[in-house]
Structure 1
Amino acid sequence: MSHPASLSPAVLPPAPAVGPPSPVTGFGPPAPSEPGAPTSAELLDFVRHAAIDKKLIASLPLDPEGRTWLRLEGPRGSEAWLIGWPPGTGTGWHDHAESVGAFATAEGRLTEHSLAVRLPASGWKTLELEDGVDRERHLGAGQSRAFGRHHVHEVLNESPVEHAVSVHAYYPPLPLMRRFSRSGAVLRLEQVERPEDWQ
């Protein structure tokens, strides 16, 4: 899921490769959680409850051309957003750095493409993904999911006619997002965004 900072994914020229693409395999160990930080389960509970709050969902202005959003007060210092998705819109491939997160669909249906692999935190521009790392989920109204640190995905409203609305929460508040382009098995780092870019 992308941060609701831009109405469409950045379109940039491909980043130059640094040497040959590196194969990506396996997961690293999970990072320890901070004392007092909300857990993934708490974030998931928050987005589920917010997604059934009809008054909250109705407060989001919808635009037929681009995504819209409202900042919400998430649990225990987390960052939360209510996002509207016009037909045919999506985020592009991205991650949320060290943040854990959750999202729930309130209206319509969203598709999530994700990678079942943890990418290196730095030191690369191009990676070659191994077979079998792609995952796809369809989340209709009332469905939700949580994810861990360094989760790489794209979220799409594939409907040609129906708006979708969803609720998202992250902790810690997003320190940065990396945006990627993808061509087959090759993933390229295109841009690093920081909170000041989203204001």
Structure 2
Amino acid sequence: MTADDAATRTTAPTPLTLDRLSALTARIAEEVRQGIHEIRFDAENRWSVRLHADDYTDVWLISWTPDQSTRLHDHAGSLGALTVVTGTLVERYWDAGLRERALPESGGGRFPLGHVHDVVNASDRPAVSVHAYSPPLTAMHYYEVTGDDALRRTGSVLTTDPEPDVPTLASVPASGRAGR
């Protein structure tokens, strides 16, 4: 293990580091640019396909049409990284308050354990990104920012898909909400 690996290692049960996940998504993003992987777009829902899976990692290709986004979430016990293939995405992330950063084409992000974020295509053209998780994704936790600017977990799902069909809190009738 190099000093750089040690500096970016977390306690996740994986031999991979954030550096290695970032390098993997960058390499796969280049394959996508070369036309090795098919891309589809869906104006209703983000489209995704798993490109690779093994005991330690899964890699996903995700397309985003304008205004598509995730909900505020984390990746439970998995580290993550993404590289933007084409377009620009915006990441909103929690750091003692909701912050925002642009993820330009060929740029990306890293997600250590506990990283809470939302990703959105705020531009007027489609975007494509490659995501890697290690260990492979098994769950996601969802959050909201409360009126007093605190983070509150609203639910969790067991999933191996970074695009699970999760109802939003607004779609749950008030009579079915606990504590409301």
Note whether the superposition's TM-score is higher than 0.5: yes
Are 1:174 and 2:152 matched, yes or no?
A: no
Distance, in Å, in 2 between the alignment partners of 1:135 and 1:91 is: 16
**Structure 2 alignment gaps of length 5 or more:** 1-8, 166-180
Task: Tell me by how many angstroms 1:76 deviates.
Answer: 6.1
Cα 1:196–1:134 change in 2 (3 A) is closer
Cα 1:45–1:196 change in 2 (3 A) is closer
Task: Tell me by how many angstroms 1:175 deviates.
Answer: 2.5
Distance, in Å, in 2 between the alignment partners of 1:141 and 1:104 is: 8
Counterpart in the other structure of 1:121: none
Task: Tell me by how many angstroms 1:33 deviates.
Answer: 4.8
Task: Tell me by how many angstroms 1:171 deviates.
Answer: 0.6
Contact residue 46 and residue 74 of structure 1 kept, 8 A: no
| TM-score, normalised relative to structure 1 | 0.69
**Structure 1 alignment gaps of length 5 or more:** 1-29, 117-131
Task: Tell me by how many angstroms 1:136 deviates.
Answer: 1.6
Distance, in Å, in 2 between the alignment partners of 1:74 and 1:114 is: 27
Task: Tell me by how many angstroms 1:167 deviates.
Answer: 0.4
Distance, in Å, in 1 between the alignment partners of 2:115 and 2:36 is: 27
Task: Tell me by how many angstroms 1:51 deviates.
Answer: 1.3
Distance, in Å, in 1 between the alignment partners of 2:105 and 2:36 is: 15
- 4+ runs deviating over 3 angstroms: 196-199
1:88 corresponds to which letter in structure 2? D
Cα 1:109–1:75 change in 2 (3 A) is farther
What does the per-residue CA deviation read over 1:59-89, in whole Å, with 9 as the maximum and x for residues that have no partner?
0211122210110115763011100011001
Three-state SS of the structure 2 residue aligned to 1:66 is coil
Contact residue 108 and residue 141 of structure 1 kept, 8 A: yes
Are 1:43 and 2:6 matched, yes or no?
A: no
Cα 1:151–1:196 change in 2 (3 A) is closer
Are 1:138 and 2:102 matched, yes or no?
A: yes
Contact residue 108 and residue 140 of structure 1 kept, 8 A: yes
1:89 corresponds to which letter in structure 2? Q
Counterpart in the other structure of 2:42: 63
RMSD over aligned Cα atoms: 2.3
Sequence identity (%): 33
Counterpart in the other structure of 2:126: 163
Are 1:195 and 2:159 matched, yes or no?
A: yes
Counterpart in the other structure of 2:173: none
Cα 1:73–1:179 change in 2 (3 A) is same
1:144 corresponds to which letter in structure 2? G
Three-state SS of the structure 2 residue aligned to 1:77 is coil
Contact residue 105 and residue 141 of structure 1 kept, 8 A: yes
